[in-house]
Amino acid sequence: MAEVMAKKESRELGSGKKRKARGRRSARNPQQAYGFDVEFSSCATRIVMRDVLANNDYDIALFSRVGLHCYNFQQGTNYKFLSWEKYNTRFTSNYDFYITFEAMDPVRNSVVSFQTLFSDVGRVVADTYVIDMWRTFACRLRGGNKALEDEWDVDKVIDQFYTGPMPKWLSDDGLASHNKKYYVVQESELHENDWLHTFMELAFSSKANRGLVASPPLEINKVVVETKEDYIIEAHEKLKAKNAIFYICYKYKGVSSEGFAGDHQSIVRKTMDGRPGHMSLEVASQITKR
């Protein structure tokens, strides 16, 4: 697993090569954003509207929720996802989704429109694990066509603790011996921080080979957060760390002929390069034996 991850990181993160620019062309209408509101002139894709029956409705909603979490995390807000409105796709070195969606502002009790650029970076299979990487390159309030910072900042120095091979599953002994590096999320916090459920669903989607057509019946059982830094004031502040590793235990409560019923474990590593709307999620899940 470590060897494959090292190769992947070298190919996708460490090369420093510039990817093909995405969404940099401006639309003629200053209120329309290229990629979100205007189709790409050089791609055989089209904007898909919400009223069109789509078998990836759940995926688009999940990707939207990931982008919204990035916005809430960086801006200190608490918008709640409602539904996606439309999306467009483009293949560069990644598979990009330009999504427009609506969210509720609980403070003003009003509906707000957002745009997010969600990118499927790639997948590797190592031993009994499948490892997916996703990134958000934008999540912003809709309006205007300002160019996106759609490339990961390869010059940003992120501690090697968060960029090396994916960690192994956390043992009980490890949790006990390094308790200041870990935080066991309390049950009340599992309900308060619904983005943890989004991470869980992203992990299950990976395990299910991204073949979900509806929200799965999942129940989150336990989450442990790890950071390199010991906590100084309150352990629960680790939930607000820009870079962190999440060990998630959850249960699939439905009936499945695909071998998904029962308990599951996944590891989610989150990193940020400091740019607005930028977040990277690496998800490692054990392959289900069928």
Q: Residue 53 — very low, low, confident or very high, per pLDDT cuts 50/70/90?
A: low
Structure tokens of 248?
């998630």
Tell me the pLDDT of the chain averaged across its residues: 82
Angle at 162 between CA 249 and CA 149, to 5 degrees: 105
Q: pLDDT (tens digit, 9 = 90+) per residue, 223-236?
A: 999 998 766 567 78
> Residue 199 corresponds to which amino acid?
F
Measured between alpha carbons, how far is residue 1 from residues 84, 125, 129, 224, 226 in Å?
36, 8, 7, 21, 20
Q: pLDDT (tens digit, 9 = 90+) per residue, 233-263?
A: 677 889 999 999 999 999 999 876 667 888 9
**CA–CA dist 134, 280 (Å, integer):** 6
Q: By the 8 A CB rule, do 226 and 170 touch?
A: yes
User: What number is the average pLDDT over the span 36-60?
Assistant: 70
pLDDT value of residue 52: 62
User: What number is the average pLDDT over the span 101-123?
Assistant: 95
User: What number is the average pLDDT over the span 131-152?
Assistant: 88
User: What number is the average pLDDT over the span 15-42?
Assistant: 52
DSSP for residue 142 = S
For the chain, where are the E strands, in sequence order?
48-49, 80-91, 95-105, 110-126, 129-141, 182-184, 218-226, 244-252, 262-271, 279-286
Q: How many CB atoms lie within 10 A of CB 232?
A: 8
Q: Residue 282 — very low, low, confident or very high, per pLDDT cuts 50/70/90?
A: very high
Kindly give the pairing relationship between strand 262-271 and strand 110-126: unpaired
pLDDT value of residue 219: 95
